């Protein structure tokens, strides 16, 4: 069986694609399944896919939404060339099914797959679906979503509620290992701050503003992204020596991240699809600071999580006004509220989403397939 997957542009598309690919290989057997991942060609894609065990087919497509008129013709040309490249590859090696994570990398793959009448699955993790998912879902054989709100936004295609695929590590994160990795004792509070694979400057700046009082109350693990790393590292060096060890700064964390999330008492994060799915899998309360970019899908997703009681939401102007430090310290001081938020976060978790998506994809490729007994 041959299956093509499409995921690139951000970690929020790449990691779920890898999760589904690995589950497909486990279900079908490495010797009987042929998997290819269509990725972007940017540095982030190259870095996150480096060393993976699957064939990669990079394309040079870029996003077109929000692009100025001067750059739009070049972007449309890239879209056309990428679609033709995928069309030719699908013709040379026809797959039995296609799995798409949404985003601009999925657009050429969906178009080429639809034209060649190959069964197509697209998955999404946002409460308010992005433009690519909304545009592509009518061309899909089946679409999967992670929020009930998203079901109502799709018309003309079969929709399944599966959750968002996550890396295997999120199936059984180890809270004690996460805390031990940064030397947090049982009586200490731990806060994990992360803005996604590329960082979030507004979050980083808000943490730097209140750093001195935050490290007095908790051990802070701060994943800055590469752009702000040196600046935040210099802020760490300015702390008094006796508290400096309570502030851990990383540009990016590849291994042990699920354990760190599970070990935290509170997480500060954006509300990308992967981020909110990971919060549910580890069952950790959160302060969500949604990005204001795009069509507001991060804000809608953050609000949907907050409505379950699992998180509080701070908009970017609130970060600028210095609200983050107060929010963190207020929640850490309110044990009953944190306990309630933890229960609500765990109730949202769907750690088996990758398995559900993989099984749907196999069913599209071969309706007679049945998994071997465990």
CA 48 to CA 263: how far, in whole Å? 24
CATH of the domain at 328: 3.40.50.2000
pLDDT at 120: 98
Q: What SS3 string covers 158-219? A: EEEECCCCCCHHHHCCCHHHHHHHCCCCCCCEEEEEECCCCCCHHHHHHHHHCHHHHHHHEE
Q: Are residues 305 and 181 in the same domain?
A: yes
For residue 324, is it within any domain? yes
Q: Are residues 134 and 91 in the same domain?
A: yes
Residue with token string 């939404």: 65
**In what side-by-side order are the strands of the sheet with 247-250?**
247-250, 218-223, 189-194, 266-269, 286-288, 311-313
Residue with token string 């997480």: 267
- pLDDT category of residue 374 using cuts at 50, 70 and 90: low
Asked if pLDDT for residue 364 goes beyond 80, the answer is yes
Least confident of 132-136, 178-182, 230-234: 132-136
Q: Supply the range of the domain harboring residue 51.
A: 2-166+351-365
For residue 374, is it within any domain? no
CA 158 to CA 154: how far, in whole Å? 9
pLDDT at 326: 96
Is the separation of the CB atoms in 189 and 338 below 8 Å?
no
For residue 372, is it within any domain? no
- pLDDT category of residue 64 using cuts at 50, 70 and 90: confident
Q: Are residues 111 and 253 in the same domain?
A: no
pLDDT at 196: 64
For residue 371, is it within any domain? no
pLDDT at 148: 87
CA 159 to CA 336: how far, in whole Å? 37
pLDDT at 46: 94
pLDDT at 328: 98
pLDDT at 186: 85
Average pLDDT, stretch 350-373? Answer: 91
**In what side-by-side order are the strands of the sheet with 120-123?**
55-59, 34-40, 2-6, 97-100, 120-123, 142-145, 158-161
For residue 84, is it within any domain? yes
Percent of the chain whose predicted confidence (pLDDT) is above 90: 78
Backbone angles phi, psi at 207, to 5 degrees: -65, -45
Among 84, 75, 139, which Cα is nearest to 110's?
A: 139
Q: Are residues 16 and 46 in the same domain?
A: yes
Query: 3-state DSSP: the chain helix, strand, coil percent, rounded to 5?
Result: 50, 15, 35
Q: Are residues 327 and 359 in the same domain?
A: no
pLDDT at 6: 98
Tens-digit pLDDT profile for residues 15-33: 999 999 999 999 999 999 9
Among 157, 113, 115, which Cα is nearest to 133's?
A: 157
Average pLDDT, stretch 93-109? Answer: 95
pLDDT at 373: 60
Tens-digit pLDDT profile for residues 102-130: 889 999 999 999 999 999 999 999 888 87
Asked if pLDDT for residue 7 goes beyond 90, the answer is yes
Query: Residue 308: which residues within 8 A CB-CB, separation 6 or more?
Result: 344, 347, 348
* Integer-rounded Cα radius of gyration of the chain: 21
Among 172, 171, 163, 167, which Cα is nearest to 360's?
A: 163
Q: Are residues 226 and 122 in the same domain?
A: no
Average pLDDT, the chain: 92
- Count H helices, E strands: the chain? 18, 13
Q: Are residues 147 and 200 in the same domain?
A: no
For residue 200, is it within any domain? yes
Percent of the chain whose predicted confidence (pLDDT) is above 70: 97
For residue 280, is it within any domain? yes
Tens-digit pLDDT profile for residues 32-62: 999 999 999 999 899 999 999 999 999 999 9
* Number of domains forming the structure of the chain: 2
Tens-digit pLDDT profile for residues 169-206: 998 999 999 999 999 988 899 999 998 655 589 999 99
For residue 370, is it within any domain? no
Q: Are residues 183 and 261 in the same domain?
A: yes
Q: Are residues 151 and 234 in the same domain?
A: no
Is the separation of the CB atoms in 144 and 357 below 8 Å?
yes
Query: Residue 174: which residues within 8 A CB-CB, separation 6 or more?
Result: 259, 262, 263
Q: Are residues 358 and 233 in the same domain?
A: no
pLDDT at 135: 86
Q: Are residues 231 and 295 in the same domain?
A: yes
Q: Are residues 344 and 355 in the same domain?
A: no
Q: Kindly state the tokens that stand for 213.
A: 């009082």
Query: Residue 134: which residues within 8 A CB-CB, separation 6 or more?
Result: 153, 154
């Amino acid at each position: 069986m041959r299956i093509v997957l499409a995921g690139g542009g951000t970690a929020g598309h790449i990691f779920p694609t890898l999760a589904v690919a690995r589950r497909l290989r486990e279900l079908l057997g490495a010797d009987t399944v042929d998997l290819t991942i269509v990725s972007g060609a940017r540095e982030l894609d190259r870095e996150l896919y480096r060393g993976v065990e699957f064939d990669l087919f990079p394309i040079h497509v870029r996003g077109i939404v929000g692009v100025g008129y001067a750059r739009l013709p070049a972007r449309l040309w890239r879209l056309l060339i990428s679609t033709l490249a995928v069309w030719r590859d699908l013709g040379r090696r026809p797959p039995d099914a296609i799995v798409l994570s949404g985003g601009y990398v999925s657009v050429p793959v969906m178009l080429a797959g639809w034209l060649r009448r190959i069964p197509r699955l697209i998955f999404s993790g946002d409460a308010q679906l992005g433009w690519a998912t909304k545009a592509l879902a009518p061309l899909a054989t089946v679409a999967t979503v992670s929020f009930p709100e998203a079901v109502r936004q799709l018309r003309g295609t079969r929709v399944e509620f599966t959750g968002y695929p996550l890396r295997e590590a999120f199936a059984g994160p180890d809270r004690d290992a996460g805390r031990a990795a940064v030397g947090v004792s049982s009586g200490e509070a731990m806060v994990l701050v992360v803005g996604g694979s590329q960082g979030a400057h507004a979050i980083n700046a808000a943490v730097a503003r209140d750093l001195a009082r935050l490290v007095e109350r908790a051990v802070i693990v701060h994943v800055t992204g590469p752009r702000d790393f040196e600046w935040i590292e210099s802020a760490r060096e300015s702390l008094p020596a006796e508290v400096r060890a309570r502030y851990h700064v990383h540009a990016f964390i590849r291994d042990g991240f699920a354990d760190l999330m599970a070990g935290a008492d509170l997480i500060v994060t954006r509300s990308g699809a992967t981020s909110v799915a990971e919060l549910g899998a580890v069952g950790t309360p959160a302060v969500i600071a949604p990005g204001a970019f795009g069509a507001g899908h991060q804000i809608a997703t953050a609000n949907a999580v907050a409505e379950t009681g699992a998180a509080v939401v701070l908009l970017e102007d609130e970060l600028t006004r210095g609200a983050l430090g107060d929010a963190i310290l207020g929640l850490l001081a309110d044990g009953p509220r944190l306990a309630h938020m933890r229960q609500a976060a765990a109730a949202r978790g769907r750690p088996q989403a990758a398995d559900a998506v993989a099984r749907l994809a196999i069913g599209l490729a071969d309706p007679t397939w049945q998994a071997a007994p465990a």
